Structure 1
């Protein structure tokens, strides 16, 4: 399992590097496009971190499809314990206070996208960001999706009691799927779908 996971991360990083220029080019000026296109292939080494994370933030805030970017965050950065803390801090954790205090359409879009794919990020890394995000109702649905992903993702991470406490104040749309089921499994102390096979199906049956 560990070897397959590491091989997968290497492959995903190679893919991410291959299309990085296409993903970020529309948001960068000409000089940064040149730096981005050549950084990973040239003799100077890997992509400069300031350009990399600025590119992610810009694309996450752009009002167009960001599936490639959120997928890259999820599998290339958030699933890897060696990179998830830095990645999460760069794309949201470091400025969640400003996002909540001074929300704009663009930063809220970025926050929602990051929260929704943050399931694999270590709970100790993301908990304070989740707690801050809960203060803003516009982010409640995204926090819920992050918690749900934390339970269901193969590499998802959460602490049941703390996650359950965060669920309490969330004001979710009436058609939100599975809040009752998530509360039930967390209240029973379960951390992850794959560590406790069958508990989710049982929760679905009991809540239906």
Structure 2
């Protein structure tokens, strides 16, 4: 499915006069000027949502561009379209496309970065986005932990720091039942403390932390336990607390 979407996006770009060459991309109107994938994304990704297609096919085409270009800006255009006058985009296609790519055995950094800094940081979208990419499925992940589902769960947990604690805590409490998710869950807890918009409750976070079976020498485990035990919610709310923990745990 991803390969089909990628090839559809490649054909669409060709129709716009954009073709891939050995070291990048070229525009037929200026064939001597080499373009980066990022430049292509900034210049053409938004045009997908002006195509004479229904919203579902526009969304599929945009995700094909994401597969092809691997650029965060494609996800920015997806979000703009979702929030624009013609939005929202069809939820089944939007979130189904995200889940599919989070499960794929290929790099998903452009997508996880978008989830982290856009969908999860925005309180108006965080709950739905987190539910769609993991929260709704966490029971199935724990009960039937396929490699694809584990891959998706790990990726989402690791970037879930900004998700409001009441939204993500039930998912965290279920994820702790599966040791294969413990390292990713620890990274989620750590991000919940360190991210500028990170959110956690110290007592509940500490209770989860104490249930994790982590490799010996896991970096910052002792420091996390120290700051949570002291009742700190966020690094930026208590900027000296982490330094104190570093000294105490050294």
TM-score > 0.5 by shorter chain: yes
1:46 deviates by 4.0
CA distance in 2, matches of 1:44, 1:153: 32
- Misfit runs of 4+, over 3 Å: 17-21, 39-46
Match of 1:164 among 200, 206, 212: 206
Residue ranges of structure 2 left out of the alignment (5+ in a row): 1-40, 47-61, 70-76
Higher helix share: 1
State yes or no: 1:197 paired with 2:226.
no
Which of 144, 150, 155 is matched with 2:192 structurally?
A: 150
1:64 equivalent to 2:106? Answer yes
Specify the structure having the higher radius of gyration (Cα): 2
Q: Distance in 2 between matches of 1:92 and 1:24?
A: 21
Aligned-residue offset at 1:45? 3.9
Q: Is the 8 A contact 1:61 1:107 kept in 2?
A: yes
Superposition deviation, residue 47 in structure 1 = 2.4
Contact 1:24–1:55 (CA<8 Å) still a contact in 2?
A: no
Give the aligned CA root-mean-square deviation in angstroms.
2.5
1:137 to 179, 185, 191: 179
- Structure 1: gaps (5+ residues): 1-13, 27-35
TM-score normalised over the length of structure 1: 0.82
Alignment of 1:1-208 (within 5 A): 18=46, 20-23=63-66, 40=81, 45-208=87-250
The CA deviation at 1:87 is: 0.2
Shift of 1:23: 1.9
What is the deviation of 1:202? 1.1
Cα 1:140/1:40, change in 2 over 3 Å: same
Q: Which has the higher contact order (CA 8 A, sep 6+)?
A: 1
For the residues of structure 2 that align with 1:188 and 1:111, how far apart are their CA atoms? 29
For normalisation by structure 2, the TM-score amounts to: 0.68
Equivalent residue of 2:123, what SS?
A: coil
Write 1 or 2 for the structure with the bigger share of strand.
2
Q: 1:25 to 1:207 in 2, by over 3 A?
A: same
Cα deviation for residue 21 of structure 1 reads: 4.1
Q: Distance in 2 between matches of 1:93 and 1:182?
A: 24
The alpha carbon displacement at 1:201 in A equals: 1.0
Identify the residue that residue 74 of structure 2 maps to in structure 1.
none
